[in-house]
């Protein structure tokens, strides 16, 4: 008998079974294979050497967890059609197909806001690529698109794909914890999946967690909060983000200068360097120009790295320095503060950075004030583990009643995690030591 699945050996979930037919065909498309060249954690590998896993394996992992979740709710009496199961698996598999180089790092830099002011989000690119594949396959992704768009008639499918306890989060928390070695990110995925249930009927049916899974859900939320502070918002990751974005912004500012180093930018990346392709081009995902999608589907981490190797030879000293710094991991320092910097503090810092640039021979006195913006970043990191409003997590109590997670918890920990934590920070060259007593 011919097996109905192809097995992928995943170090996180074990053997992942990919159904033969449409789902396996999608795994083998160029659009999905490209995700092998997109790092899942962006620049996290500069802090955690093992964090070189990719969006490809994350897509497989999310699809695998979706299959387990669907099997669980089917076993508890919820009838699912073959088309629904396949559509949900496809949506989970391809949900991140629109990520660009280094995942989130260059997301808004690569495709800037347009006249509307709307910022680009990778989900818009994912939707555009899904639509293109659907047209190529003669409408085979109709159900997957409805689930992805949140317009499918059974909304619990959308909750499985995109919610505060979806298959995307469950996979990336476990996967990122595994590859970074940060044990605080370990999540009891199996228990959460086994306690999933669909409650209600028709359009009112919703995804809930049985009471016995409540503590596992609390642990998942706590793990997510800790992973944000220890991994996703790690101070060196923020510094690396600032250096790469600075190099990218400088290259774009000098794009029409005739610099031979910039002219050596890879063709796929060069398509997006002029800034003419904006978020407004994705207002209608089914109307995105084919040449834009073609160029994006050629773009990956290697384009950025190869271009940086050329940019570090630029005659522009700022571009060359920022490019070299990123490639050599000669990064800036991130310092967290107790409160946002005042305007006067930022002006003083900018002046010190400008003087430092002149002293280092990286800028002229006339240009140093403007050039300082590439070496000084003030911002705030925000960490919100759980949103109790909007679409909260519901717990199915043993008496059949539903309670929102923070009300069902007897520890108070969930309620505490509903308050966002905001940490202001400044990124600047280490030699300047802008804040002698960091928070």
Of 86, 120, 89, 105, residue with least CA distance to 38: 105
Q: Which helix (H) or strand (E) holds 395?
A: strand 394-396
pLDDT at residue 64 tops 60? yes
pLDDT range class, residue 388, cuts 50, 70, 90: confident
Q: Are the C-beta atoms of 403 and 420 separated by less than 8 Å?
A: no
E-state strands within 171-326: 196-199, 206-210
| Stated pTM of the model | 0.94
CA-CA-CA-CA dihedral for 265, 131, 104, 281, to nearest 10: 60
Beta strand extents in 299-376 (DSSP E only): 333-336
What b/e sequence results for 277-295 when a residue is b if at least 16 CB atoms lie within 10 Å of its CB, and e otherwise? bbbbbbeebeebeeebbeb
Written as one string, the DSSP assignment of 407-424 is: HH-SSSHHHHHTS-EEEE
Angle at Cα 306 formed by Cα 304 and Cα 312, nearest 5°? 95
Average pLDDT, the chain: 94
pLDDT band of 239, cuts 50, 70, 90: very high
Residue 437: per-residue pLDDT = 42
pLDDT computed for residue 334 by the predictor: 97
Pick among 1.10.3720.10, 1.10.3210.10, 3.40.50.300, 1.10.230.10: CATH of 5-102+109-232: 1.10.3210.10
Q: What is the mean pLDDT of residues 360-364?
A: 97
pLDDT-derived band at 438, boundaries 50, 70, 90: very low
Nearest by Cα to 88 from 15, 165, 166: 166
141 pLDDT exceeds 90? Answer: yes
pLDDT one-digit tens code per residue, 296-329: 999 999 999 999 999 999 999 999 999 999 999 9
Helices (runs of H) and strands (runs of E) counted in the chain: 21, 9
User: How much is the average pLDDT of 213-225?
Assistant: 93
Over residues 328-335, the mean pLDDT reads 97
With CA atoms as reference, report the closest residue to 421 among 144, 229, 192. Answer: 229
């Amino acid at each position: 008998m011919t097996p109905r699945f192809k097995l992928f050996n995943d170090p996180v979930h074990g053997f992942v079974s990919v159904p033969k037919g449409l789902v396996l065909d999608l795994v083998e498309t160029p659009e999905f294979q490209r995700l092998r060249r997109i790092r899942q954690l962006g620049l996290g590998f500069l802090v955690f050497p093992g964090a070189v896993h990719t969006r490809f394996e994350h897509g497989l992992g999310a699809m695998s967890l979706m299959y387990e979740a669907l099997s669980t709710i089917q076993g508890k009496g919820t009838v699912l059609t073959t088309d629904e199961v396949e559509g949900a698996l496809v949506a989970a598999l391809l949900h991140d197909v629109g990520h660009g180089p280094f995942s989130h790092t260059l997301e808004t830099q690569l495709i800037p806001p347009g006249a509307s002011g709307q910022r680009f989000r990778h989900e818009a690119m994912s939707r555009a690529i899904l639509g293109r594949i659907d047209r190529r396959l003669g409408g085979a992704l109709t159900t997957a698109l409805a689930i992805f768009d949140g317009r499918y008639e059974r909304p619990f499918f959308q909750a499985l794909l995109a919610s505060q306890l979806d298959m995307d989060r469950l996979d990336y928390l476990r996967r990122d914890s595994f590859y970074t070695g940060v044990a605080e990110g370990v999540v009891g995925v199996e228990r959460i999946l086994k306690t999933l249930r669909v409650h209600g009927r028709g359009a009112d049916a919703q995804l809930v967690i049985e009471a016995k899974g409540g503590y596992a859900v609390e642990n998942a939320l706590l793990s997510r909060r800790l992973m944000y502070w220890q991994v996703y918002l790690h101070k060196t990751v923020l510094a690396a983000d600032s250096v790469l974005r600075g190099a990218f912004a400088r290259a774009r500012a000098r794009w029409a200068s005739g610099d031979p180093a910039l002219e050596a930018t890879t063709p796929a990346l060069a398509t997006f360097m002029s800034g003419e392709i904006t978020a407004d081009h994705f207002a209608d995902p089914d109307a995105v120009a084919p040449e834009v999608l073609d160029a994006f589907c050629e773009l990956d981490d290697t384009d950025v790295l190869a271009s940086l190797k050329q940019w570090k030879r630029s005659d522009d000293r700022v571009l060359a320095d920022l490019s070299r710094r990123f490639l050599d991991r000669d990064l800036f320092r991130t310092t967290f503060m107790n409160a946002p910097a005042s305007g006067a503090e930022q002006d003083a810092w900018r002046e010190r950075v400008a003087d430092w640039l002149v002293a280092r021979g990286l800028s002229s006195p006339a240009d140093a004030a403007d050039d300082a913006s590439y070496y000084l970043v003030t911002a705030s990191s925000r960490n919100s583990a759980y949103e109790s409003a909007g679409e909260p997590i519901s717990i199915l109590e043993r008496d059949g009643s539903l309670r929102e997670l923070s009300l069902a918890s007897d520890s108070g920990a969930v309620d505490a995690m509903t308050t966002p934590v905001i940490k202001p920070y400044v990124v600047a060259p280490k030699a300047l030591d802008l804040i002698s007593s960091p928070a």
